[in-house]
Structure 1
Amino acid sequence: MHLNRRNALRLGVLASVAPVGIAHQIPAGAAPAASLVEPFGLDAVALGDGIFADKRDRMLRYASGYEAARGELAGPDRMLYNFRANAGLANPAGIRPPGSWDDANGYLRGHYSGHFLSMLAQAYAGTGDDLYRRKLDHLVAGLGESRDALAAAAAQATPRVAGRTGTALRLTGSPLGHAEHVALPSGLVDGLTDLTVAVWINLAAIDTSRLPDPNADPAPLRNGVKVFDFGADADHHLYLTVRADNANPFPRFGITTSGTAGEQRVTAASAIPEGQWTHLAVTLGGGTAVLYVNGTAAASGPVALTPADLGATAANWIGRGQFPQGSVQYLGADVDEFHVFSTSLGADEVAALAAGAGPGGDLARYRFDEAPGAVCADASGNGADARVIAPTDGRRHPGFLAAYPETQFLRLEEFATYGGNAGIWAPYYTTHKILAGLLDAHRLGGNGDASEIATGIGEWVHSRLSVLDRARLDRMWSIYIAGEYGGVNESLANLAALHPDRPEFLQTAKLFDNTALLAATVAGQDLLDGKHANQHIPQFTGYLRMYEQGAGDDYFTAAEQFWDMAIPHRAYAHGGTGVGEIFRARDAIAGSLWQYPNDPNHAETCCVYNLIKLARNLFFHTRDPKYMEYVERALYNQILSSRRDADSTTDPQVTYFVPVRPGQARGYGNTGTCCGGTGMENHTKHQESVYFADRDGLYVNLYMSSTLDWAARRTEITQTTDYPFEGASRIEINGRGGRFDLRLRVPSWATTFTVEVNGRRQSITAEPGTYAVVSRRWRDGDTVDIAMPLRLHTEAALDDDTIQSVYYGPTVLAIKHDPVGTDLATGLISIAVGDDLDEAFEPAGDPLHFTADGYTFAPLHLGDEDPYHLYWRRQQPSAETLHTYSPRSRQ
């Protein structure tokens, strides 16, 4: 017998590496909220020949062949590039990051590596091929090394470097540094009418090698970068910037009580040089501000505002600006001799300071000559010590692991907005993908180090969020994109299952509650219109997982209610949802095809990935066939169609969108994007929902050639079928067997569904949209033959009976045709189809191909880049035409 992973597990050979704690989505052993149904692991179900094995094998060739010309581990090394760079570790020669959003400066860098981990773990579990295990272990080991290097750096005291006199503080700057800055005491300049601030800086050169365009001028990156910034917020503050803007690339002092538009400014006329010490000073008093460079007045002008006009100055910083605002950068420079005076010094006094003489600041004086550490001692005698905010400030948990600095998370806590130069997308989204990948590496790949690293990440998340109040958390999770956290609450609940003696993991999962939407959904209020779909779908899978760990019934109610708001009310014919990435109005299907002219794409693939996950998890608790009906629709249509029918070892060849606007085409590729990541996972776990079990028997949910190793009953179930190309399947039972219920899902379109056991027709109830049950004592060699003749059936858009899609069995058929118009009136192909679909649609030779009224219909699952029409106008709609997707609503 060939010793693959499935057989080895059966024989106990791999017992030493078998992971513990998490089954596939559902925890092993008893849980506080136990499920009615349990899935089988990927290693227990082997795919047979067919379309799903074909799509999987293309992804396996990508998983095994990615960068293979450079060596077996070059692919994982690319996934480690950004982690190593962030941790200060060397990367192998010639290795570059994956690219796109996971490029060297990508705001989501690291997320794709998490998906790659999950793909490798699933590939290993499903095939037993040690190649995937070696790649997986190398990637986990590299993540562990990066985590250890980050922890070692954080354990060091903030160093001092050679200064203008004595030692200085080095700030690494942005956008690519760790964004160190210094927090001065609150209220330092409150009530002052006169002020002087003076400092020595040595401006660092910007490393252009990691910029998107290394040949571009890096100087504009310093626009708005603050030497200091004192105030209450972005509307009430005073500042000195090293470079005002492109038109004025010179130092500028500004003060305002009404934002940028109300600034009173003075601007110098020459730039600050790099790599040499420059003395800068600002004096403010008597209605005049003067900006000095190296002891000489460089600009002056009338400025009526004073620090007293700013109110309480709680945010006083060296090296950074105020939040919230659209562009926040950090100073890259060595800083020395920072003085704050309560008076407006004269020109001779400023010149003396620049010459190294004169008095020190009477409010605060920071010489940075103290021992390394996070405290910057005040030499003025006022006790106004400042604190360095940096990875080495002593506040970092050693479990932190990311491919970018922890500053991303600080920015989110300070209410950064999405995009622009704020430099933040969705840090906890990235955390989730890394955490989920590590948990998959442990659960499916038996890697114990992955569990330890994941646990540390969970501890670090707890350390950051547990000190924040609910109002701040609510604001964070409400921010578009930046507040997107994927399903990190699901991963934290999985950690709670791994560590039942660690309640902080479930407590931390609750900190991710999107409280307003959660409460509304529990109450049955549909607020989804306009919501970022993939920002919210995985939250509800997380809530369901939290319910399983004992978080409370409301979390289950939320997941169930959310599902019913999304499906069928926002589902297209192939199972996808959304216009672009956004949920749109309830029951507006036809209306959404052209309603948003600037966004021709629909049905983000990540959304259907997460909807399938939510559907199967809800089935575990409800056994409601509607969830598996959806899984079939989405899996056999959008997911199959999301993988191009061509091999590639350079990118996963998956879709971002599978559009439904008539005449659109799919685009494939997507290295580094969110859908590129979920796409890698989609096609290495096709067998996950074919079979489930409960204490009474077996559910056959999907008709897919496969073999189940049902170890608990010492029974093997083999299913042979060419579904969806044929409406039949044979199931063979080998092994001990015994008495159990065999539950066979009857698809909603299957008006005829018959079952024979060992050639004998069974008398069973087989209503469409239910499970037909055959209950008996099964013996070795028993056969079950299922017949469900494929038939044509149509489905109308919820908001227009005349706009329809057509299916043959479970397969949605699309018209192969270019665009014909730009709105509902002109853009839909009109076809004369009466009540008799068999008369209107003629088989066209190739499998699942038809012609009707001169148009060619082909299965959507063909992975090509041809334009297509999923919806068309039926000239003679039948009175019985479907009005909605539902297991019990059919033509």
Structure 2
Amino acid sequence: MNLNRRNALRLGALASTAPAGFLHQGPAGAAPAAADPATPDSWTARPFGLDQVALDDSIFTAKRDRMLAYARGYEADRGELAGPDRMLYNFRAAAGLPNPDGAEPPGSWDNETGYLRGHYSGHFLSMLAQAWASTGKRVYKRKLDHLVKGLTDARDAFAAAAAEPTPRVEGHTGTAVRLTGSPLGHAEHLALPAGLVEGHSALTVAVRLKPGTVDRTKLPDPNADPAPLLNDVKVFDFGADADRHLYLTLRADNANPFPRFAITTGGPGAEQRVTATSPIPAGEWTHLAVTLDGTTAALYVDGALAASGPASLTPADLGTLAHHWIGRGQYPQGSVQYLAADVDEFHVFGTALGAEDVAALLEGGSGDLAAYRFDDEPGPVCADASGNGNDARLIGPEGRHPGFLAAYPETQFLRLEEFATYGGNAGIWAPYYTCHKIMAGLLDAHRLAGSDDALDLATGMGEWVHSRLVALPRERLDRMWSIYIAGEYGGMNESMAALAALHPDRPEFLETARLFDNTALLEATARGTDLLDGKHANQHIPQFTGYLRMHEQGAGEGYRTAAANFWDMVVPHRAYAHGGTGVGEIFRARGVIAGSFYQYPNDANHAETCCVYNLLKLARNLFFHTGDAKYMEYYERALYNQILGSRRDTDSTEDPEVTYFAPVRPGRWRDFGNTGTCCGGTGMENHTKYQDSVYFAAADGKALFVNLYMPSTLDWSEKNVTVEQRTDYPFDGAVRLTVRARRRTRFALKLRVPSWAEEFRVEVNGREQDLDAAPGTYAVLDRDWRGGDEVDIAIPLRLHTEAALDDPGVQSVYCGPTLLALQHEAVGDDLATGLVDLAVGDDLEAFEPTGEPLHFTADGYTFAPFHLGNREPYHLYWRRR
């Protein structure tokens, strides 16, 4: 490559076409987009703000501009703010606020009943903040401000509900307490003291209630049950868990839509039960009573015997009884539905009353263990009229920390604390993951767009999280965070560390970050013990970025060690050719790359895109601490391949058009779309921040790292220096850097030498430099720089292969940084032999250019860049012979 002639002339022509003043300086009065609130003492390098690096035309801007068009155009035919209104829909609904006519939620996982609703709105907020910081176009700021204002309104409505005493309503006699029912409401239920019936060999429970109806349009399947009362919703449930408890439900199931009483020490299959033969009417007061004496169970409706049968079990057989609930069931297998009813009298007796005594309760009476008439003043405490002091507490919005903000009530958080698992009607879905995405979006709105209101919201959420978790013992927290997906919390520890940095006088934020320690995995990883096989990848990757951020705030060296060790367990040992990781979202065995194609024949999905998003964050933050080029080497591979290839090459204002998976199984293809999914959310962010790691400054300001080769201009305002980069990379290996400075300025220019670069040559103002430019390091030019200095870099692109760690014959091929995918459908049904065989010698002469950029043919097959966003089948790996 002749730097002084062909490439210098070409790069000069590129520079001459760059529009003058295209670098975004931000409109007058706009808050600057700061890179970070402060540079931690442990950093050796620091990033620039998105507004300090402007991208010039390239494949990156083509992908970015499609995402910016989505950010501007989403629902724009209904008005500029219709898109943000969709993102606010579920928050307003949860807070009891009206939505604009015609508004709908985003959809998919973020629909009206989705257990992850609200997460996508957080990502949307981050995208808008990044778009504003990068372009300065006020349309993004207006949308962002509207979204923050709507979230503030929802937070205030939640806070107002929490400040109001829980009301009493008109009862059968006197007043009653109203339970609104369904996890879509506030999940009100009554908690009676632990141990209330523990050890008793006989029991009577009597209750008067008026069942309500649930808004069935708000349920996951409105057609599942045509009756007004829902199956298996508990009137009361006393026990230890779903295997050891006794309960009463108004409606057993579709085959028996009648009241049922049951007791069990072995789960549903071992229940001793009695079931009535007539349904309970909705909207009418009904008196129910159950008795248990060690031989017989009886169920009474309005004083008349409705069912009886043999039952040898009593509360004494159930052991320790921690939970005595009115209006909800045990966990984790129990239904997540809550009772919708007005509850008036509720009495508990330590004996089995006879039929006449039960009938007499219709006229009045008082339980000898506990008696609740709900005639007390509005509030969460329901007094025990028995004289035993067994007051009940109504669990609902009252007294909640006013910082709470979510697109659903606190039900999922409560259920996680009770170890509910992921999936199904009885499960939950990662409540703290959703919380993190909202907090992260708000923190981005503050950091990148200067929104103090967003910081106020994020701070309040952090306070609410602290108030909830600080009350839990370490053992419970450890079990919560180890639960598959349900315990996934994204980067909550990272957000709490960010709040600690923004509020150095608030030690509770770093304390709360520690409460998210996934202790067993954290300690093992810090020791260097690899326990990742079989773990959900994206559940754990962001935890380690959070640990690193906690270390920066003074949490201890062990957190940094764990983050660095975790990285080395994933890259390269679990990383595919395009930078992705995982099979079906799961980490697999260390070093098994080729083997993963056919060890899991029923799972064609690999490399969840969220995982790469989080690995890039971790790589970037580890580099800040070490300056080790290996992290930026990975960053280039993953960004220029899986991330670039994750955005479809087509315009859309209705959908982000990004991938969930980037399959590695031979002959698979990519699917695009993902409105409302996790990868749809991170995808919106991926393509609006390409410039965030092109350049870093040394922490002491004495050096500039050029990490990525990408057409761009850096405004290094602290040095009064501008650096312009002109290149066609990754299509060409020639790069020109032009330094613009008002006066002589000394700093070291550190140029990353890719690991595949057998040659790396540098000229300064036409004079070749004698540099130590070993592949996988940084070449350093330490000198005084003047305005107009030109640095020409030659990185001749070359074809090179990389073998799978577990099978040297299985390989991928690259041209420079670009992974070349063999364009072909699957070959046969046997994945073990389904790889394409290629006759390729050591010199790779079998690969011949087609004339189209980065396209080659070899042995009759066509290879194309993986970054092309299409749905064509491909092979990233092939067998070399």
TM-score range, shorter chain: over 0.9
* Corresponding residue number in structure 2 for 1:856: 862
Deviates more, 1:698-707 or 1:817-826: 817-826
For residues 438 and 230 of structure 1, the distance between their equivalents in structure 2, rounded to whole angstroms, comes to 41
Q: How does 1:370-409 map to 2 (within 5 A)?
A: 370-392=376-398, 394=399, 396-409=400-413
Q: How does 1:723-742 map to 2 (within 5 A)?
A: 723-736=729-742, 737-742=744-749
Give the aligned residue type for 1:28.
A
RMSD over aligned CA atoms reads 1.6
* Corresponding residue number in structure 2 for 1:369: 375
For residues 668 and 213 of structure 2, the distance between their equivalents in structure 1, rounded to whole angstroms, comes to 47
2:758 counterpart of 1:758: no
* Corresponding residue number in structure 2 for 1:881: none
* Corresponding residue number in structure 2 for 1:796: 803
* Corresponding residue number in structure 1 for 2:255: 247
* Corresponding residue number in structure 1 for 2:825: 818
- How many aligned residue pairs are there? 860
* Corresponding residue number in structure 2 for 1:340: 348
| Secondary structure at 2:361 match in 1 | helix
* Corresponding residue number in structure 1 for 2:432: 428
| Secondary structure at 1:52 match in 2 | helix
For residues 533 and 252 of structure 2, the distance between their equivalents in structure 1, rounded to whole angstroms, comes to 41
What's the offset of the Cα at 1:333?
1.1
1:674-706 deviation per Cα after TM superposition (whole angstroms, max 9, x unaligned): 100000000000000000011222111000000
For residues 546 and 835 of structure 1, the distance between their equivalents in structure 2, rounded to whole angstroms, comes to 47
Q: Per the alignment, do residues 698 and 352 of structure 1 end up closer, same or farther by CA in structure 2, a change over 3 Å counting?
A: same
Q: Per the alignment, do residues 619 and 358 of structure 1 end up closer, same or farther by CA in structure 2, a change over 3 Å counting?
A: closer
For residues 803 and 853 of structure 1, the distance between their equivalents in structure 2, rounded to whole angstroms, comes to 16
For residues 763 and 672 of structure 2, the distance between their equivalents in structure 1, rounded to whole angstroms, comes to 43
| Secondary structure at 1:254 match in 2 | strand
What's the offset of the Cα at 1:872?
0.6
For residues 252 and 4 of structure 1, the distance between their equivalents in structure 2, rounded to whole angstroms, comes to 72
8 Å CA contact 1:4–1:128 kept in 2: the answer is: no
For residues 3 and 81 of structure 1, the distance between their equivalents in structure 2, rounded to whole angstroms, comes to 40
| Secondary structure at 1:593 match in 2 | helix
2:461 counterpart of 1:457: yes
Q: Per the alignment, do residues 8 and 668 of structure 1 end up closer, same or farther by CA in structure 2, a change over 3 Å counting?
A: closer
For residues 506 and 606 of structure 2, the distance between their equivalents in structure 1, rounded to whole angstroms, comes to 42
* Corresponding residue number in structure 2 for 1:872: 878
Q: How does 1:57-136 map to 2 (within 5 A)?
A: 57-136=65-144
| Secondary structure at 1:82 match in 2 | helix
For residues 221 and 749 of structure 1, the distance between their equivalents in structure 2, rounded to whole angstroms, comes to 66
What's the offset of the Cα at 1:321?
1.4
1:285-320 deviation per Cα after TM superposition (whole angstroms, max 9, x unaligned): 261111112222211111111222223333111111
For residues 708 and 807 of structure 1, the distance between their equivalents in structure 2, rounded to whole angstroms, comes to 29
For residues 785 and 18 of structure 1, the distance between their equivalents in structure 2, rounded to whole angstroms, comes to 32
8 Å CA contact 1:427–1:482 kept in 2: the answer is: yes
Q: Per the alignment, do residues 825 and 322 of structure 1 end up closer, same or farther by CA in structure 2, a change over 3 Å counting?
A: closer
Deviates more, 1:652-661 or 1:310-319: 310-319
1:769-802 deviation per Cα after TM superposition (whole angstroms, max 9, x unaligned): 1111122211111111111111110011000011
Q: How does 1:520-669 map to 2 (within 5 A)?
A: 520-669=524-673
For residues 35 and 218 of structure 1, the distance between their equivalents in structure 2, rounded to whole angstroms, comes to 61
Q: How does 1:212-223 map to 2 (within 5 A)?
A: 212-217=220-225, 219=227, 222-223=230-231
8 Å CA contact 2:234–2:247 kept in 1: the answer is: yes
For residues 375 and 68 of structure 1, the distance between their equivalents in structure 2, rounded to whole angstroms, comes to 49
1:820-878 deviation per Cα after TM superposition (whole angstroms, max 9, x unaligned): 123344311111111121x2011112111111111111100000011111011111xxx
Give the aligned residue type for 1:833.
V
For residues 835 and 462 of structure 1, the distance between their equivalents in structure 2, rounded to whole angstroms, comes to 59
* Corresponding residue number in structure 2 for 1:769: 776
For residues 557 and 810 of structure 1, the distance between their equivalents in structure 2, rounded to whole angstroms, comes to 29
For residues 782 and 267 of structure 1, the distance between their equivalents in structure 2, rounded to whole angstroms, comes to 88
1:23-67 deviation per Cα after TM superposition (whole angstroms, max 9, x unaligned): 53x5425x3x43010110001000100000000000000000000
1:601-659 deviation per Cα after TM superposition (whole angstroms, max 9, x unaligned): 00000000000110011111111100000000000000000000001111100000001
For residues 782 and 579 of structure 1, the distance between their equivalents in structure 2, rounded to whole angstroms, comes to 48
* Corresponding residue number in structure 2 for 1:885: none
| Secondary structure at 2:209 match in 1 | strand
8 Å CA contact 2:25–2:51 kept in 1: the answer is: no
What's the offset of the Cα at 1:213?
4.3
What's the offset of the Cα at 1:216?
4.5
8 Å CA contact 2:183–2:336 kept in 1: the answer is: no
Q: Per the alignment, do residues 784 and 657 of structure 1 end up closer, same or farther by CA in structure 2, a change over 3 Å counting?
A: same
Deviates more, 1:253-262 or 1:707-716: 253-262
Q: Per the alignment, do residues 180 and 613 of structure 1 end up closer, same or farther by CA in structure 2, a change over 3 Å counting?
A: same
2:14 counterpart of 1:14: no
For residues 366 and 545 of structure 1, the distance between their equivalents in structure 2, rounded to whole angstroms, comes to 50
8 Å CA contact 1:123–1:132 kept in 2: the answer is: yes
Pairing partner for 2:46 from 38, 49, 59: 38
2:287 counterpart of 1:297: no
8 Å CA contact 1:326–1:417 kept in 2: the answer is: no
8 Å CA contact 2:26–2:32 kept in 1: the answer is: no
* Corresponding residue number in structure 2 for 1:161: 169
For residues 280 and 874 of structure 2, the distance between their equivalents in structure 1, rounded to whole angstroms, comes to 58
For residues 633 and 446 of structure 2, the distance between their equivalents in structure 1, rounded to whole angstroms, comes to 31
1:689-734 deviation per Cα after TM superposition (whole angstroms, max 9, x unaligned): 0000112221110000001111011111111111111111111111
| Secondary structure at 1:805 match in 2 | strand
Deviates more, 1:62-71 or 1:174-183: 174-183
For residues 221 and 629 of structure 1, the distance between their equivalents in structure 2, rounded to whole angstroms, comes to 59
TM-score (norm 1): 0.94
What's the offset of the Cα at 1:360?
2.6
8 Å CA contact 1:206–1:218 kept in 2: the answer is: no
8 Å CA contact 1:339–1:361 kept in 2: the answer is: yes
8 Å CA contact 1:122–1:684 kept in 2: the answer is: yes
Deviates more, 1:626-635 or 1:281-290: 281-290
Q: Per the alignment, do residues 465 and 2 of structure 1 end up closer, same or farther by CA in structure 2, a change over 3 Å counting?
A: farther
Q: Matched residues, percent identical?
A: 74
Give the aligned residue type for 2:773.
A
Give the aligned residue type for 2:38.
A
For residues 201 and 560 of structure 2, the distance between their equivalents in structure 1, rounded to whole angstroms, comes to 59
For residues 582 and 221 of structure 1, the distance between their equivalents in structure 2, rounded to whole angstroms, comes to 40
8 Å CA contact 1:794–1:806 kept in 2: the answer is: yes
For residues 454 and 649 of structure 2, the distance between their equivalents in structure 1, rounded to whole angstroms, comes to 33
* Corresponding residue number in structure 2 for 1:685: 689
What's the offset of the Cα at 1:219?
4.5
Q: Per the alignment, do residues 53 and 70 of structure 1 end up closer, same or farther by CA in structure 2, a change over 3 Å counting?
A: same
Give the aligned residue type for 2:24.
R
Give the aligned residue type for 1:257.
T
* Corresponding residue number in structure 1 for 2:14: none
Structure 1 unpaired stretches of 5+ = 876-891
| Secondary structure at 2:852 match in 1 | coil
Give the aligned residue type for 1:429.
Y
What's the offset of the Cα at 1:445?
0.5
TM-score (norm 2): 0.96
Pairing partner for 1:745 from 752, 755, 772: 752
For residues 534 and 191 of structure 1, the distance between their equivalents in structure 2, rounded to whole angstroms, comes to 45
Give the aligned residue type for 1:848.
L
Give the aligned residue type for 2:189.
H
What's the offset of the Cα at 1:768?
1.1
Q: Per the alignment, do residues 533 and 318 of structure 1 end up closer, same or farther by CA in structure 2, a change over 3 Å counting?
A: same
* Corresponding residue number in structure 1 for 2:283: 275
* Corresponding residue number in structure 1 for 2:7: none
| Secondary structure at 1:509 match in 2 | helix
